[in-house]
Amino acid sequence: MFVSEALSVNDRGHLVIGGCDCVKLAEEYGTPLYIMDEELIRKNCRAFRKGIEKYYDGNGLVLYASKAFSSLAACRIAEQEGLGLDVVSGGEVYTALKAGFPVDRIYFHGNNKSREELVMALDNSIGRIVVDSYEELFNLDGIAGSKNKCADVLFRIKPGIDAHTHDFIKTGQIDSKFGFALETGEAFDVIRRASKMDNINVVGLHCHIGSQIFDIEPFVEAVKVMLNFISELKEKLGLEIKELNLGGGFGIKYIPAHDPIEYEKYLEAVAETVKATAKEKNLYLPKILIEPGRSIVGPAGITLYAVGSVKDIPGIRKYITIDGGMTDNPRYILYEAVYDAVIANRADAPRTEKVTIAGKCCESGDLIAKDIDMPEIKAGDILAVLATGAYNYSMSSNYNRIPRPSVVLVKEGKSRLIVARESYDDLVRNDIIPEDI
Ligand code: LLP
Q: Is the pLDDT of residue 1 over 90?
A: no
0.75 exceeded by pTM: yes
Work out the percent of the chain whose per-residue pLDDT is above 90. Answer: 96
Question: What pLDDT, on the 0 to 100 scale, is given for residue 242?
Answer: 98
Q: Is the pLDDT of residue 311 over 90?
A: yes
Ligand 1 near 247 CB (within 6 A) = yes
Residue 85: pLDDT band by 50, 70, 90 thresholds? very high
Question: What pLDDT, on the 0 to 100 scale, is given for residue 167?
Answer: 58
Ligand 1 near 211 CB (within 6 A) = yes
Identical fold at 7-30+300-427 and 38-297? Answer: no
Q: Is the pLDDT of residue 180 over 90?
A: yes
Centroid of ligand 1 to alpha carbon of 237 (angstroms): 32
* Known catalytic membership, residue 362: yes
Question: What pLDDT, on the 0 to 100 scale, is given for residue 163?
Answer: 72
Ligand 1 near 292 CB (within 6 A) = yes
Question: What pLDDT, on the 0 to 100 scale, is given for residue 168?
Answer: 57
Ligand 1 near 84 CB (within 6 A) = no
Q: Is the pLDDT of residue 166 over 90?
A: no
Work out the percent of the chain whose per-residue pLDDT is above 70. Answer: 98
Domain range annotation of the chain: 7-30+300-427, 38-297
Contact between residue 178 and residue 247 where contact means Cβ atoms under 8 Å apart: no
Mean pLDDT in residue range 178-205: 97
Question: What pLDDT, on the 0 to 100 scale, is given for residue 151?
Answer: 98
Q: Is the pLDDT of residue 90 over 70?
A: yes
Contact between residue 384 and residue 344 where contact means Cβ atoms under 8 Å apart: yes
CATH of region 7-30+300-427 = 2.40.37.10
Mean pLDDT of the chain: 96
- At 16-60, the pLDDT tens digits run 999 999 999 999 999 999 999 999 999 999 999 999 999 999 999
- At 213-267, the pLDDT tens digits run 999 999 999 999 999 999 999 999 999 999 999 999 999 999 999 999 999 999 9
| Best of 62, 67, 92 for a ligand 1 pocket test (most atoms within 8 Å of beta carbon) | 67
Centroid of ligand 1 to alpha carbon of 170 (angstroms): 9
Single-letter amino acid, residue 332? Y
Q: Is the pLDDT of residue 169 over 90?
A: no
Residue 89: pLDDT band by 50, 70, 90 thresholds? very high
Centroid of ligand 1 to alpha carbon of 250 (angstroms): 9
Residue 165: pLDDT band by 50, 70, 90 thresholds? low
Mean pLDDT in residue range 381-385: 98
CATH of region 38-297 = 3.20.20.10
